[in-house]
Amino acid sequence: MLTNIAYTPETTISANGLNLVYDAFGDPGRDPILLIAGLGSPLISWDEPFCQALAARGYWVIRYDQRDIGHATWFDEAGLPDLTPAIQAWLQGQPVSVTAAYTLHDMADDAAGLLDALGIPTAHIMGVSMGGMIAQIFTLRHPQRVRTLTILSSSTGDPALPLPQMEAINALLTPPPPGRDAYIDQDTATRHLLLGPIWPFDEAYARERAAENYDRGLHPAGTARHLTAIAAALGWKANLHTIKAPTLVIHGDADPLLNIACGRDIAATIPHARLHILPGVGHMLPQPVWPETIDQIAAHAI
């Protein structure tokens, strides 16, 4: 962990009519890079050492709690969605229809509102998994605000793409068990599953990260509503050909959740996008590939 990187502590800020929470690494005077997290993931899902290493390359690195997760505004008044019909239709290759409290488009506008509240006119935008979907939609809705776009382990949402492996689907849809120890056990097992087949698994680090998530606070209902937000937003691929922002797609070729075909599809659909494949990497970035990944981002986000 780097100790000489400036840190902006967690701060609650009003954005797009909600309370969002952000923190940041590095000098606020440097180029901003906004990190958009994945499904049901709080800001701390972006590992602090990763953020510090990225900031050391000359960025002001901002991560934040999205709506319905972490310390941001929750939407519990919307109730818990019934995901079963949508999931069954998806697995059978049929059109998915859901009633959603909000969509990824709203979440993209939250990101724009956060930049507004921070006085940032343009930024490098980077998203992982669902966050990569939001980053695509952000770029479609707010193209003038995107310096560069980086998409990690994500998808265009095209229903013709390969389905996740069943183990990954089950891990995604299994609610967290009650109790701290049980949650840590389950989350650690999920991290191991999503890591990829060739990388040593640092179980101690994984358990530490799981404990941080639990202690900061879980919100399974928000995760469920994030899933409906994805389903309600499907169809954005049709407009990706209009993106002009320089785009980098980073994807592991052993991703059990979003097959490498998903990364290839993004790169083939966004004009002039560059695809960087991480051999043997799953849905999560193992620490040994952080330097390579950060090198790719730093060479792109200029």
Query: Span 172-192, mean pLDDT?
Result: 95
- Tens digit of each residue's pLDDT (9 = 90 or more) over 196-240: 889 999 999 999 999 999 999 999 999 999 999 999 998 999 999
Task: Show the domains of the chain with their CATH numbers.
Answer: 7-164+219-300 (3.40.50.1820)
Query: Span 93-121, mean pLDDT?
Result: 92
pLDDT attached to residue 2: 75
The confidence band for 1, taking pLDDT boundaries of 50, 70 and 90, is low
- Tens digit of each residue's pLDDT (9 = 90 or more) over 250-275: 999 999 999 999 999 999 999 999 99
Write b or e for each residue in 62-71: b if 16 or more Cβ atoms lie within 10 A of its Cβ, otherwise e. Answer: bbbbbbbbbb
The Cβ of residue 135 has, within 10 Å, a number of other Cβ atoms equal to 28
Say yes or no to pLDDT of 152 above 80. Answer: yes
Distances in Å between the Cα of 87 and the Cα atoms of 81, 83, 205 are 12, 6, 32
Average pLDDT, the chain: 95
Dihedral over alpha carbons 289, 182, 131, 112 (to 10 degrees): -120
Q: Are 229 and 102 in contact (CB under 8 A)?
A: yes
Distance CA 78, CA 135 (A): 25
Distance CA 223, CA 171 (A): 13
**DSSP codes, 218-234:** --HHHHHHHHHHHHHHT
Q: What angle do CA 27, 32, 37 make, to 5 degrees?
A: 115
Q: Give the rounded distance of the alpha carbon of 187 from its chain centre.
A: 17
Of all residues in the chain, the percent with pLDDT exceeding 90 is 88
Q: Please indicate, yes or no, whether the overall pTM of this predicted structure exceeds 0.95.
A: yes
Query: Tokens 């980086």 label which residue?
Result: 150
φ and ψ of 164, to 5 deg: -60, 160
Selected residue with higher pLDDT from 175 and 150: 150
pLDDT attached to residue 172: 84
Say yes or no to pLDDT of 93 above 80. Answer: no
Report residue 175 as tokens: 């609610």
Distances in Å between the Cα of 84 and the Cα atoms of 28, 45, 76, 90, 226 are 44, 27, 19, 10, 14
